[in-house]
Amino acid sequence: MNEKTVINGPVYDARTLGTPKMLILGLQHMFAMFGATVLVPILTGIDIATTLLFAGLGTLLFHLLTKRKVPAFLGSSFAFIGGYNAITGFDSSSGVPVNSDLLVYACFGVACAGLMYVILSALFKAFGVKKVMKFFPPIVTGPIIICIGLILSSSAINNCNANWLVAVAAIVIVICFNIWGKGMTKIIPILLGVIGSYIISMIVDPASRVAVAEKVAAAKWVGLPIVWENSVFHLFSMDVDTGMLLSALFTIVPLSLATMVEHIGDVCAISSTVGKNFVADPGLHRTLLGDGLATTLAALFGAPANTTYGENTGVLALSKVYDPRVIRIAACFAALLSFSPKFAAVISSIPTAVIGGISFILYGMISAIGVRNVVESKVDFSKSRNVIIAAVILVCAFGIKYSTGMGFDAAAGIDGALSFNVFGASIHLSGLAVAALVGIILNAIFPGNDYVFDNDKGEETGVNFKL
């Protein structure tokens, strides 16, 4: 869809535009989420086809639970990448998991993280938004989000090392389209960056071009998108490591604290764009429930955690078509593509350097969003409580992760962790998990917690991806 087809006035019922335009608008939303969504499985070892299937099904489930009112697309969440890597290990030289057999344990942790949304949804329903959000002010969530991006940054650099020419090309393309792009090109800079740098990589490395062609040619046109060995259900057919199960639980579940606030910010951003207060109707308890159950459903079958996508909020602002039916069309397209192994083969053959260049930008954006969280929420750093909370969060996240005394081993791809035993089972809390828990506790016990969430202002969370 180009600028000539952009709608001037808001459209709340896309059926008035006709079926062909509805399909085009749906494709536009799918492409907007596509670039970021497929990067998560590439960076974690998760199957791409499974990811696309549950991005589509998760979005449809979300719409069902929100009374089909909220025009939101659910794609892969980057916030849990560190959790996956903490469980499976990460080879800094190849950019792939060290032990993919442990992926099922990470998926179990993500499935439980999704249930945290359900709990928070119940709390919102019972006590109201303002009372619950008092425990998740920007002084806690902002530094946590900063840490998520910076912790991931080392893997981006390692992937760039594969071919800096290709990586820089990806970075330049994304930046140029994001800043100077017009119409649709401004909405999908990540996808354009992947395509452009992919082509450059094929030009500068003819050998890889042949390998990709052979891989794509060997792939079938149609196949099932679910890998049983990656699903949580596979645990029932194997000897379960209880310690690893608990470790995944304590490592990954705390990450949901940041993603839940991210979700609230996205819903506020969508409300502002569309001109409807979705915080009130259908309510945050329903949107959180939809996002959480979609995440749990995806993880149970070996797909990444889902999250509301700011890229699609940008598409809403561009097209001015606010009908949730268009989002559901995009979800159906994503689910249909998941049944094509040939399409998945094309995606999985993306060179490491391309991934590095794209993740270079994306991981930096995550940290920048954390800074935005703090700045837009006007956190007062003249208060000692705020300085201390931020300081403790940052030191816990980075100090534990990179401390050799906590088990950090760069060569082996092992992160540092706070380790202890519970009933004979070894538990490993990642630095990020410790940081999140400590930050919430300190904010609760320190005097001066005067944060008040205003559900009419998306900037109150400081966590939206609106460009």
Quick one: pLDDT at residue 466? 34
The beta strands (E) that lie in 117-193 are given as none
User: Which residues form the domain of 437?
Assistant: 3-460
- Mean per-residue pLDDT, 37-47: 80
Question: What does DSSP assign to residue 304?
Answer: P
Could you give the CA distance from residue 140 to residue 142 in angstroms, rounded to a whole number? 6
Quick one: pLDDT at residue 5? 47
Quick one: pLDDT at residue 266? 76
Please give the tally of structural domains in the chain: 1
Per-residue exposure over 431-453, b if at least 16 CB sit within 10 Å of its own CB, e if not: bbbbbbbbbbebbeeeeebebeb
Question: Is 466 a domain residue?
Answer: no
Question: Is 287 a domain residue?
Answer: yes
Quick one: pLDDT at residue 93? 46
What distance lies between CA 164 and its chain's CA centroid?
Answer: 25
> Given phi > 0 = left and psi -120 to 50 = alpha, else beta, which region is 350?
beta
- Tell me which of 260 and 57 has the higher pLDDT: 57
- Mean per-residue pLDDT, 52-63: 94
Q: Are 152 and 359 contacting, i.e. CB atoms less than 8 angstroms apart?
A: yes
- Mean per-residue pLDDT, 27-45: 76
Question: Is 16 a domain residue?
Answer: yes
Q: Are 227 and 70 contacting, i.e. CB atoms less than 8 angstroms apart?
A: no
Q: Are strands 306-308 and 425-430 parallel, antiparallel or unpaired?
A: unpaired
* Helix (H) / strand (E) containing 427: strand 425-430
- Mean per-residue pLDDT, 98-122: 87
- Please state, rounded to an integer, the average pLDDT across all residues of the chain: 80
Per-residue confidence at 462, pLDDT binned at 50, 70, 90?
very low
Q: Are 231 and 53 contacting, i.e. CB atoms less than 8 angstroms apart?
A: no
Cβ atoms within 10 Å, residue 17: 17
CA dihedral defined by 307, 463, 10, 69, rounded to 10 degrees?
Answer: 40
Per-residue exposure over 168-202, b if at least 16 CB sit within 10 Å of its own CB, e if not: bbbbebbeebbeebeebbbbbbbbbbbbbbbebbb
Could you give the CA distance from residue 104 to residue 101 in angstroms, rounded to a whole number? 7
Per-residue confidence at 243, pLDDT binned at 50, 70, 90?
confident
Is pLDDT above 50 for 464? no
Quick one: pLDDT at residue 435? 86
Question: Is 356 a domain residue?
Answer: yes
Is pLDDT above 80 for 72? yes
Question: Is 465 a domain residue?
Answer: no
Question: Is 467 a domain residue?
Answer: no
Could you give the CA distance from residue 401 to residue 430 in angstroms, rounded to a whole number? 7
- Mean per-residue pLDDT, 106-132: 89
Could you give the CA distance from residue 278 to residue 271 in angstroms, rounded to a whole number? 6
Per-residue confidence at 3, pLDDT binned at 50, 70, 90?
very low
Q: Are 321 and 312 contacting, i.e. CB atoms less than 8 angstroms apart?
A: no
Quick one: pLDDT at residue 287? 93
Q: What is the pLDDT of residues 408-435, one digit of tens each?
A: 766 666 677 777 776 665 666 778 778 8
Question: Is 120 a domain residue?
Answer: yes
- Look at 100-114, 227-241, 416-430 and tell me which has the smallest mean pLDDT: 416-430
> Given phi > 0 = left and psi -120 to 50 = alpha, else beta, which region is 426?
beta
* Helix (H) / strand (E) containing 314: helix 310-319
The whole-model pTM stands at 0.74
- Look at 35-39, 228-232, 301-305, 371-375 and tell me which has the smallest mean pLDDT: 35-39
Q: Are 399 and 431 contacting, i.e. CB atoms less than 8 angstroms apart?
A: yes
- Mean per-residue pLDDT, 198-212: 82
The beta strands (E) that lie in 211-360 are given as 306-308
CA separation (Å) from 448 to 142, 370, 382, 445?
18, 22, 12, 9
